[in-house]
Amino acid sequence: MSIDPMEIAGFNVEIIRKAIKNLHVGVYPPHGHVRVAAPLAVSDDAIRIAVLTRLSWIKRKRHAFEKQPRQSEREFVSGETHYVFGRQCRLRIEYWSGKRHEIDMQAADRLLLMAPEMSDTNQRRAFFEKWQREELRKIAAPVITTWAKRLNLELPAWGIKRMKTKWGSCNPDAGRIWINSELAKKPKICTDYIVLHELAHFISPRHDDEFIAVLDTMMPTWRQVRSDLNALPIAEM
């Protein structure tokens, strides 16, 4: 696999050549980064033409990302709003003599973060993000088990990590999926959809008719869920 930059029609395009059959042009959040995945034998001219023929679509996607609301960087102080599975929660910080951070979900829209007296922003952020991952893991574990069973698949290995351009990824050959830690901020149905999406690739690696049929059968509302997910506020990367 090789990765090379190319400027096309004023856009900086990332070209990834690898052992695949078809060329794919993608536009990715948060700022509309353009990436082309191309078979090894495809020429630069063919890639350039492929991008140019999709130029209107690329511009629409980038414009949509520009309009998408963004969460400002959080300082983890009292009064801030944080998203927890789609709910806006008001954060309150209380300092104590204990050496550990603790979080208490006091109500559907209230969070209490107990922090050591000398805690700084980075420490509070690190603990909060760790807590969010743990909460996402609790939600994702039974979802993965359920979808694997319904799709007659072996239970995959899986993990949670921060991803800049994808909500999830998979490696069917290794039997593994990853989900984006940012899903801890989105409604739970979004995790449901992303897990199904990734596991459907164990049945078909491409976004072809077979893949779409799996989604249509298992989650008839997946298109609306995807649309809602992509319209939600995204974090600054």
**Gap between the Cα atoms of 36 and 54, Å rounded:** 11
State pLDDT tens for residues 99-140: 899 999 888 899 999 999 889 999 999 999 999 999 999 999
Peptide bond into 30 cis (omega under 30): yes
The pLDDT-based confidence of 53 (bands split at 50, 70, 90) is: very high
- Structural domains in the chain, CATH included, are 2-67 (no CATH), 81-235 (3.30.2010.10)
Provide the pLDDT for residue 70.
Answer: 61
Pairing mode, if any, of strands 176-180 and 157-161?
Answer: parallel
For 52, the 3-state DSSP assignment is: helix
**Gap between the Cα atoms of 153 and 190, Å rounded:** 21
The more confident residue out of 3 and 87 is 87
CB of 166 closer than 8 Å to CB of 180: yes
Mean pLDDT (the chain) is: 89
For 1, the 3-state DSSP assignment is: coil
**Helix, strand, coil proportions of the chain in percent (round to 5)?**
40, 30, 30
Residue 46: name the closest of 6, 83, 75, 86 by CA.
6
